[in-house]
Amino acid sequence: MKNFEETIEKLKKYDQTHIIKIMEKLTEEEKETLANQIEKLDFENLKNLYNELTKEEVNSEKVIEPISALKKNKLTEEQLEEIDALGKNIIASNQFAVATMSGGQGTRLGYSKPKGTFKIDVEPEPKYLFEIVCDTLKRANKLFDVTIPWYIMTSEENNDEIIEFFEEHNYFDYPKKDVMFFKQGQMPLINEQGKLLISENKVIKEASDGNGGIFKSMSISGCLADMEKRGVKWVFIGSIDNVLLKMVDTTLIGLAEERGVDIATKSILKNNPYERVGVICKKDGQVGVIEYSELSKKLAEAVDEDGDLVYGESHIMCNLFSINILKKLAEITLPYHKAHKKNSYLNENGELVVPEEPNSYKFETFIFDSFNYVDDIAILRGTREIDFAPVKNKEGVDSPETAKELYNNYWRNNKE
Ligand code: UTP
């Protein structure tokens, strides 16, 4: 039988004694499960995150500089051909892989199953979001006579359901040996006093650690090693919910090769200076994404010689990473962003409390924070109607309805 002394010491040291009280009411088996979880948790990190939460935010003045995007129409036909040839060569020589992030909860869509299993009513027949991604890959495979390895990030919560879905649909005829699933990591939730929450299942309540968790989980799961074994040099990482996402873009890959950078991203130009989206720029010399709220009116309105917004390159989760930078990023912990949420929990008497107001913090890392770890990135300016049709909300903007329209319009004009 397990000795719980160490667990109790750890809980006392980190001021989590409420858990000791709950433990007293658990069966030996439940106690053991909880103790195993506690053993693995990084309490020091949680303590630091909590201390950060309570610190006053310092509004430091950052030096903001733009990073210009490549506009395809600024290139001559020969220049574009050269860049595309570099990209084609990478794909055709099996040095390219795709990862799809589908670990999100899709709360705004209000669909209880994994977002990728959502069916959208496009022409000529409705398709699942996973199927749309798969179709894009199949078209590229045919064009370049390869099979692009496809890595799918799931979460602890939706992993089994996603695998079952793929089995049920026979992997949409994608070669099964080239589809790899991996789970993203989790982070415990803490309440406003820095205490861990215990769930109804009598374990510490955890939630997905955000899409920035992809780097570590790719490594832990062995996917990164699998890529290396296959000789992959570039990995495209995209979201599951953009029905126009161009994952296999020869210009994006060629541009990264030509510029000698480790990260390339495709952006779209902001609709107007005040659109509430993050834009890619440099902050104190470091590449990053700046929130609309951090951008002064003057900078937001600045335009270049073409009349385009200087700070207008919005991040659309359309990113390409070299295998080398993925290996480095797997060793780094990206900064955590907090979200104040409602979460039920067991109190010291073992009773379930369902809060009516946000009572706890969830910690997430964001994929674009990885940009901070390189000196420069290449940005390719995409086009809204061609590259971006997100399914985020149940109704209104960025909903299945708007995505369907954009998808249908695109495919009426483009036959591949
Ligand atoms: P969003 O940040 O838009 O989140 O994800 P979401 O889960 O789709 O929707 P909401 O915010 O709950 O309504 C952008 C992409 O990142 C993935 C999502 O699956 C989507 O492809 N993601 C997000 C993860 O893979 N893991 C996460 O923890 C969060």
Question: What is the 392 CA–ligand 1 centroid distance (Å)?
Answer: 9
Quickly state the pLDDT bin for 372 (edges 50, 70, 90).
Answer: very high
Model pTM score: 0.94
Ligand 1 pocket test, candidate residues 223, 240, 341, most atoms within 8 A of CB: 240
Ligand 1 mean position to 244 CA, how many Å?
Answer: 17
Instruction: Ligand 1: list residues with CB < 6 Å.
Output: 101-108, 115, 153, 184, 208, 210-211, 239-241, 317, 392
Ligand 1 centre from 373 Cα, in Å? 22
Q: Which of 180, 175, 183 is nearest to 151 (CA)?
A: 180
Q: Which CB contacts under 8 angstroms, 24+ apart, belong to 339-348?
A: 339/363, 339/364, 341/189, 343/189, 343/197, 343/205, 344/199, 344/200, 345/191, 345/197, 345/198, 345/199, 345/205, 346/22, 346/198, 346/199, 346/200, 346/202, 348/18, 348/21, 348/22
Q: Which of helix, strand or coil describes residue 150?
A: strand
Which of 13, 22, 21 lies closest to 41, judged by CA? Answer: 13
Longest CA span, the chain: 73
Place of tokens 């319009």: 409
Mutate to test the pocket of ligand 1, among 100, 105, 111, 277 (most ligand atoms within 8 A of CB): 105
CA pair distance 132, 271, nearest whole angstrom: 26
- Tell how strand 352-353 and strand 345-346 pair up: antiparallel
Residues 6+ apart with CB under 8 A from 294: 62
Q: What is the pLDDT of residues 180-209, one digit of tens each?
A: 999 999 999 999 999 999 999 999 999 999
| pLDDT 10s digits, 6-54 | 999 999 999 999 999 999 999 999 999 999 999 999 999 999 999 988 7
SS3 248: coil
Within 13 A of 309's CA, how many CA atoms are on the CB side? 23
Whether pLDDT at 59 is above 60: no
Which of ligand 1's atoms lies nearest the C-alpha of 364? 28
Confidence band, pLDDT 50/70/90 cuts, at residue 1? low
Is there a contact between 72 and 251 (Cβ–Cβ < 8 Å)? yes
- Residue with CA at minimum distance from ligand 1 atom 18: 104
